[in-house]
Amino acid sequence: MTISRALKVDLNITPFYHCVTRCVRRTFLCGQDNETGQDFSHRKDWIVGRIKQLASIFAVKVCAYAVMSNHYHIVIFVDTAQAEGWENSEIIERWKALFPNDAAQFINKSLNSDEIKAKLELWRMRLLSVSWFMRCLNEPIARSSNLEDNCTGRFWEGRFKSQALLDDGALLSAMAYVDLNPIRTKQANTPEDSEFTSIHERINVLAKTLAKKTTQDINEAKQPRRLMAFTAGRPQNMYNEPTIDFKLSDYLKLVDTTGRIIRENKKGAISEDLAPILFRLKLTPKGWLDMVKSLERSFYHAIGEQEKLMNFGVRYSSRAPKGLVAAKHCYLKVA
């Protein structure tokens, strides 16, 4: 059953979302295309560049991304507080970066009329919209690719898939799932070799910082400017914007260990040194591994604990949402 995007994306419930867009017929239009033999890998750079550009325009922070040969993943945080703080002039400048002709009508005009105020409020809401973010990401890539191929028609499948991330366990499992995509498909052996992913970008920036010996503490090292920062273990008030309240070192260890287990198809318990972070997320070690393995198969419109899934699901259906069985299996029962 197709669910309205307005019901699947509710910023009052969660600001975090995992989105996936696939090429039409899942063909390899962003990599080595098996049908034509052509290599379109340069389009991955287009997508990464566009993601970062839009993150500077929309009230959106990028938590994780992975651009594959026939699809891409992105985990985003929608920053409502940021958008509410914009002055009218800033809304115009941001919208102008997306649609210059729309914004041109406000040049040398008063911004106090009711009509103009309504238009600016509409633009503010669109700059908060997951759907508009994905639209502004997908359409230019499709146009450029079709121009390059001298063809018309769909480049992406009809609708992007979105999953609401209802708690910290869902957020970090979605991020790890995204960052490990090249490893699962055997396109990379390690996170640091996983090109066109956020984990590759985070590790590169970290390596450069440590090489300059500006710090010996991973958690105090510089982090990518266009990615949402991990800030646990860092000085207070270092950031004036939302961040991920976990240590970067913990996340890197989590991704590395999880990736190693998945790649070698091991079913044993995750090593004990990961127990503290898993306990904080209320996930069992095996549950964590299962979530990262089957994030898209086991869950659908949202990811999280059973109670949160039920509360989210009643908004659009009288039936229990998909994922309750997986949530019961994955999450610890806390008294």
Q: Are residues 12 and 75 in the same domain?
A: yes
Minimal CA–CA distance to 59: which of 29, 86, 79?
Answer: 79
Can you tell me the mean pLDDT for 292-306? 77
Which is higher by pLDDT, 276 or 214?
214
Q: Is residue 109 very low, low, confident or very high in pLDDT (cuts 50, 70, 90)?
A: low
Classify residue 92 as exposed, middle or buried by CB count within 10 Å of its CB (0-12, 13-18, 19+). Answer: buried
Helical ranges in 180-274 per DSSP H: 181-184, 198-211, 248-263
Q: Are residues 47 and 149 in the same domain?
A: yes
332 falls within a domain: no
CATH code at position 89? 3.30.70.1290
Q: Are residues 53 and 89 in the same domain?
A: yes
54 falls within a domain: yes
Please tell me the total count of domains within the chain: 2
Can you tell me the mean pLDDT for 65-76? 96
Domain end (from 165, 194, 218): 165
Q: Which contiguous run of DSSP H or E holds residue 98? A: helix 88-98
Domain end (from 165, 192, 219): 165
- Residue position matching structure tokens 């869950």: 299
Q: Are residues 71 and 4 in the same domain?
A: yes
Is 60 exceeded by the pLDDT of residue 223?
Answer: yes
Is 60 exceeded by the pLDDT of residue 268?
Answer: no
pLDDT of residue 107: 65
69 falls within a domain: yes
- Give me the domain span that covers residue 28: 1-165
Encode pLDDT of 162-199 as tens digits.
Answer: 999 999 999 999 999 999 998 888 888 888 889 999 99
Can you tell me the mean pLDDT for 213-240? 77
Can you tell me the mean pLDDT for 75-88? 95
Q: How far apart are CA 301 and CA 131, in angstroms?
A: 15
* Structure-block tokens of residue 161: 């898939």
Q: Are residues 95 and 237 in the same domain?
A: no
Contact status, residue 31 vs residue 145, Cβ threshold 8 Å: no
311 falls within a domain: no
193 falls within a domain: yes
Q: Are residues 156 and 247 in the same domain?
A: no
Encode pLDDT of 136-167 as tens digits.
Answer: 999 999 999 999 988 888 999 878 999 999 99
Q: Are residues 93 and 175 in the same domain?
A: no
* Structure-block tokens of residue 2: 């197709």
Domain end (from 165, 180, 215): 165
Least confident of 56-60, 120-124, 156-160: 156-160
Q: How many helices (H) and strands (E) does the chain have?
A: 16, 5
Is 80 exceeded by the pLDDT of residue 47?
Answer: yes
Encode pLDDT of 229-258 as tens digits.
Answer: 998 866 655 667 889 989 888 898 888 888
Is 50 exceeded by the pLDDT of residue 274?
Answer: no
Contact status, residue 45 vs residue 195, Cβ threshold 8 Å: no
pLDDT of residue 271: 38
Q: How far apart are CA 44 and CA 196, in angstroms?
A: 7
Which is higher by pLDDT, 105 or 4?
105
- Opening angle at CA 62, ends 57 and 194, nearest 5: 130
Q: Are residues 213 and 248 in the same domain?
A: yes
322 falls within a domain: no
Edge-first strand order for the sheet with 71-78 is 60-67, 71-78, 16-22, 161-165, 302-303
Q: Are residues 246 and 144 in the same domain?
A: no
Is 70 exceeded by the pLDDT of residue 117?
Answer: yes
Which is higher by pLDDT, 299 or 128?
128
